[in-house]
Structure 1
C-alpha cells in the first residue's frame, strides 16, 4: 500500500467487547487521524435451528453481528457528527430481510437488527452530515459459507451462481463515495436476484 501512496494500520480486536473497540478506535485515530468512513463487516455464523441453538451460540452471534456495530458506531460516529461528515456502511444479510433458509434464527435476528439500527442511526446522524446505509448480501463465497448452504441456495438465485466478495465490495465503495451523497437509511440488496 505504501507504493500506492497510502498508509495502512492493522489492529485486531473483538468487536463484541465495548472497551476493546473503544481502545482500538482511539489508537487508530491517534495514528491515522479522524475516521470519516466506517464499514462494519465483522460477522460470524453458527448454523443451527431454533430447537438446538444454545444460549452461548445465541449470544456470540448477536454480540458480534449486532452489538459489534453498536460498539464501533458509538466510538466513531459522534466524531463524524462533530466534524459534519461521515459514511457508515453496515453489513446485514439476505437472512435479515427474509429470514434464513436454514433456520438460523439467531443470525437472522441479528442481521434484521442491523437494518433497524442503520435506519435509526441515519435519522440521528443525517442532519449532521453523516450517511448511514446497510448492504444485505445473499450467498457469498467466503470462509463462513458451508458447501451445504451454497448448494442448497443455488436454486433460489436467478443469476444461478454464488456472489463474489468483490461484488459486495463494489457496492460498499459506492456508498462511501461522493456519488452516493443523497442516499441514507437504505438497504442495498446484493444477491443475484434471490430477494426481490
Structure 2
C-alpha cells in the first residue's frame, strides 16, 4: 500500500522519528495554508495550518514507511506531539474527498496513492482555538517576542518550503532578518 504524508512546514525539514520511504517531493496536491497558529510548545512560533480562505499553494509529500493507514496516522500524531486523533487527517482511495483538500482524490489517483495523511490542526491565536489572526496581529506578535523565541519564530518562517508562498509570508518577509531569508 502506498501512503503519502503531506507536508508544508516543519515536518518537511524536521520529520523527526516519522518513518519515511522517500524524501519530500514538491508535486503534492494543491492546499490552502497560512501562518495562523500560535504554537506555545514551540517557543510561540506562528505555524502553518490549513485555512480554506487562503491562497492555493502546492504541498510537498513523502511516502510513509508503513502499509497500514491507521498506523501511519498514529505515527504522524506522535511526531506532531500527540494532538487529538481528529487533528490528523486520513483519506483512503474510495472515500469521499475531504472538504479541506479539494482535488486530493484526483492527485492521489494520478500518483497511484492508496491513502493520504496530513496534520489538520486548526488556527489558534492568543489561546483561542479557531481564531484566525490578521497579518497585522501576527506581525505585532512577532515584533514583541523576546530575542530567542523571536529567532525561532523567524526560523520557522524562513525554513518553510519556498513553494509555500502565502500572503502572510509575503507580508511578514520584511520582519525576517536578511540573513534569515531563504
* TM norm. shorter chain > 0.5: no
Task: Compare CA radii of gyration and give the structure with the larger one.
Answer: 1
TM, length-normalised to structure 2: 0.28
Task: Pick the structure with more helix per residue.
Answer: 1
Task: Pick the structure with more strand per residue.
Answer: 2
